[in-house]
Amino acid sequence: GDSVTQMEGPVTLSEEAFLTINCTYTATGYPSLFWYVQYPGEGLQLLLKATKADDKGSNKGFEATYRKETTSFHLEKGSVQVSDSAVYFCALGLGRGGYNKLIFGAGTRLAVHP
Amino acid sequence: DAGVIQSPRHEVTEMGQEVTLRCKPISGHDYLFWYRQTMMRGLELLIYFNNNVPIDDSGMPEDRFSAKMPNASFSTLKIQPSEPRDSAVYFCASSPTRGRGHFDGYTFGSGTRLTVV
């Protein structure tokens, strides 16, 4: 069935380090792909998205490229800040007759230390 | 728009009591979703509505849980009677109908943290 697999956390980094959070998916059809971020005590917020193969989504210094050949959508940031500490969710979106179903990964907690 | 609005932000109740969580979706969004988030089980979809009609409630854990959407701007999730294992953060989210290339995901509320003692 359709699913999303994320690397397990927590991921602990020092400020200004390079970040990669791996995400792979299994899906029938042609999904859209998303990264959501959840800061402590808040709801999930859309971070970036990509709708077709080779699209790159980017926002706030984060980016991810839709790789159909490897069914992946890894999240990267060149230099993390303490304020990036949060839980990151990869998700795939599947259209079903007007209804867009989002399937979330388990989430990856990122902790950035000064 | 003020986004998806949930109330209350925090709720502490005693086991056996009825709990009602409230949600106001973004105006114009015709899909509404209720999620539960726990450390053990992660993010779970409980139920979703389309145009105020419940479409899939297969994620509702037990008959103690019920959800309604009496109009396009209001939904409730009720737990009666509540139990300690219902303690979690409950999120409401909404989304408009969009073609695949124009889908921007769901917009989530800030959640209600429920503690049942």
The distance of B86 to chain A (nearest Cα, Å) reads 18
Query: What average pLDDT score do residues B12-17 get?
Result: 97
CB contacts of A89 in chain B (<8 Å) are 43
CB contacts of A98 in chain B (<8 Å) are 97
Query: Touching check for A32 and chain B: CB below 8 Å?
Result: yes
Percent of chain A with pLDDT over 90: 81
pLDDT of residue B102: 76
Percent of chain B with pLDDT over 70: 97
Does the pLDDT of residue B2 top 90, yes or no? no
| Minimum mean pLDDT range among A75-79, B32-36, B98-102 | B98-102
State how far the Cα of B73 lies from the Cα of A32, in Å rounded to an integer: 28
Does the pLDDT of residue B20 top 70, yes or no? yes
The distance of A78 to chain B (nearest Cα, Å) reads 25
Does the pLDDT of residue B109 top 90, yes or no? yes
Residues present in chain B in total: 117
* CB contact at 8 A, A90 and A8: no
The distance of A49 to chain B (nearest Cα, Å) reads 8
Query: What average pLDDT score do residues B36-58 get?
Result: 94
Query: What average pLDDT score do residues B16-39 get?
Result: 96
State how far the Cα of A39 lies from the Cα of A29, in Å rounded to an integer: 32
Sheet holding A19-21, edge to edge: A19-21, A75-77, A62-65, A56-59
| Minimum mean pLDDT range among A19-28, A92-101, B45-54 | A92-101
Burial class (CB in 10 A: 0-12, 13-18, 19+), A78: exposed
Does the pLDDT of residue A15 top 80, yes or no? yes
State how far the Cα of B16 lies from the Cα of B81, in Å rounded to an integer: 4
Does the pLDDT of residue A1 top 70, yes or no? yes
pLDDT of residue B1: 67
Torsion of CA B97, B98, B100, B104, to 10 degrees: -100
Does the pLDDT of residue B100 top 70, yes or no? no
Query: Which pLDDT tens digit goes with each residue over A26-69?
Result: 998 889 999 999 999 999 999 999 998 999 999 999 999 999 99
Does the pLDDT of residue A73 top 90, yes or no? yes
Query: Touching check for B70 and chain A: CB below 8 Å?
Result: no
